[in-house]
Copies of this chain bind each other. A is one copy, B any other.
Amino acid sequence: MAEKHELGITVKKADDMPEWYSQVVVKSGLADYSPVRGTMIIRPYGYRIWENIQSYFNDVLKKRNVENAYFPMFIPESFFKKEAEHAAGFKAEVAWVEQKEGDGERYALRPTSETIMYDSYAKWIRSWRDLPLRINQWCNIVRWEVKDVKMFLRSREFLWQEGHCVYETKKECDKETKLFLKEYQKLSENMLAIPVIAGRKTEKEKFSGALYTLTIEALMPDGKALQMGTSHNLGQGFAKAFNIKYVGKDEKEHDVWQSSWGFSTRLIGSIVLMHGDDKGLVLPPKIAPNKAVIVPILFEETREKVLAKAKEIAKKLKKYDALVDERDEYTPGFKFNEWELKGVPIRIEIGPKDLENNSVILVRRDNGEKKTVKIDNIAKEIKQTLNDIQKSLFDKAKKFLDSHVAEVDSYEQLKQETAKGNMAVANHCGSVECEEEIKTDTNGITTRAVMPGKAEGSCIKCGKKAEYKVYFARNY
């Protein structure tokens, strides 16, 4: 019993989500605290989810003709100064390497890689034949402003992918900026079972140095929005700053158009927050490291037989990375709790009686449903059930999102709705200062994404003519 207590989650999700979240992340083995302030350790169970995301997205990259590469993590100080807005945006969060004799200049640890990559792009790109150029890198990123780590969600070092593309025309650049956002949306909705709102960021919230930023935003159960990925049309600002030109088919020199886009290990945090429950993690089958776990019910006399059958089943379910938990030192009940905590989508129970009936019991992690299934049909049943779980997690999250977006007509209403844990859709004038005022006044409500189209009426805050409708929320 002592063991169980230590293992299990001691607070309810609805009562104290931050504490619940930390406990789930650590106790399920996704990650751990690190001795270095503001950082975390991604443990094997968490890293396998990241690998599953990588594997899915590497296929997307290949399909979209994006190639992986690796650039230095050190960025010369002078590079930041070339694009003024970009430099200003990252100033506070940059960590620097202690200078040594002969270094010549100060180096930052990459907070993002536009500058170091585009310096090379200027060298590599000569003519229209070199375009489009599409390069991605998977790497670690350092943003030092973080003091206290929020596992996966905010840390001084995290892992991500960053795609950096170059085009001849604005039209192509617009098209693919949208395309990669769409790919992010598919990743989030189809793999992670997290529905999102897709839209443009306001001037205030866009990426430092971008023409515009597209974003996908999810709404977490506590009513906070979580930015799942962004795709930036960088325009020609970096092209001018880094002198990236190409000779066109017209034999004249032109500045290139550029885009960049990224998502990070914070996606893992979003999965925990969105789907987890009071028993722990609930993993969408498509990214779960193990889609099923087999817990044999072992008694001395039937032990051998039951275990042999459990292993036989595991073999049949190899492509689902099904595990057999044959540890002797724990009771079945203890094991059930542990695998629930780890969010394995399906538990398969098999005891001597089941063996006699040539059946097993399937238990769904997401809703606890139990079902007796013939062993002969097991592969088919598992496949179907995994599909059902994936769909059911998405549907539940979609229902949540749809029922937590409120159109509001006044500033007062905006505060009320966000206080209730809703996203508020409201008219806004589009001014950076006005948005800033809302954020300060409400202690953290920000715009998440602009709705397409023009708005009628006036800004809920300043009363000036509305430019657009925009989603407001607190955010991670």
Pick from B70, B97, B104, B140: contact of A97, CB below 8 A.
Answer: B97
Asked if A39 lies at the interface with its beta carbon under 8 angstroms from chain B, I say yes
A464 to chain B, nearest CB (A): 41
Which residues of chain B are near A100, meaning CB under 8 Å? 95, 144
* A329 / chain B contacts, CB cutoff of 8 Å: 129
The listed residue (B43, B44, B103, B140) touching A73 by CB distance below 8 A is: B140
> A335 near B: Cβ within 8 Å?
no
**How distant is A320 from chain B, measured CB to nearest CB, in Å?**
15
Is residue A68 within 8 Å, beta carbon to beta carbon, of the partner chain?
yes
Query: A107 touching B36 by the CB < 8 A rule?
Result: yes
**B67 pairs with A44, CB closer than 8 A:** yes
Per the bound structure, the CA–CA distance linking A230 and B161 in Å amounts to 30
A72 within 8 A of partner (CB): yes
A473–B142 alpha-carbon span in the complex (Å): 40
CB neighbours (8 Å) of A44 from chain B are 67-69, 135
Interface flag for A240 (CB, 8 Å): no
A8 to chain B, nearest CB (A): 18
Q: How far is the CA of A142 from the CA of B100 in the complex (A)?
A: 14
Number of A interface residues at 8 Å Cβ cutoff, please give it: 53
Whether the Cβ atoms of B39 and A68 lie closer than 8 Å is no
- Does A382 touch B at the CB level, under 8 Å? no
Q: Which chain B residue lies CB-closest to A133?
A: B44
**Do the beta carbons of B120 and A32 come within 8 Å of each other?**
yes
**Interface contact A74-B42, CB-CB below 8 Å:** no
For residue A40, CB closer than 8 A to chain B, the reply is yes
Asked if residues A116 and B157 are in contact (CB atoms below 8 Å), the reply is no
CA distance A47 to B119 in the complex (A): 19
Closest to A129 in B: B329
A17-53 at interface with B (beta carbon < 8 Å): 32, 34-37, 39-44, 46-48, 50-51
Residues of B within 8 A of A156 (CB): 74
| With contact pairs A97-B96, A98-B96 given, residues A47 and B68 touching in the complex (Cβ less than 8 Å) | yes
Scoring A residues 56 to 70 as 1 if CB is less than 8 Å from chain B, else 0, what string do you get?
000000000001111
Q: List residues of chain B with CB within 8 A of the CB of A75.
A: 36
A35 to B32, CA, bound (A): 36
Least Cβ distance of A46 to chain B in Å? 8
List residues of chain B with CB within 8 A of the CB of A46: 69
A sample of 21 inter-chain contacts (CB < 8 A) reads: A32-B124, A35-B79, A36-B107, A37-B103, A40-B72, A41-B69, A41-B70, A42-B69, A44-B68, A44-B69, A44-B135, A48-B67, A48-B68, A72-B157, A73-B157, A74-B157, A97-B97, A97-B98, A97-B109, A100-B144, A139-B140
User: Which residues of chain A have a CB within 8 Å of any CB of chain B?
Assistant: 32, 34-37, 39-44, 46-48, 50-51, 67-76, 79, 95-98, 100, 102-104, 107, 109, 116, 119-120, 123-124, 129, 135, 139-140, 142, 144, 147, 156-157, 159, 329
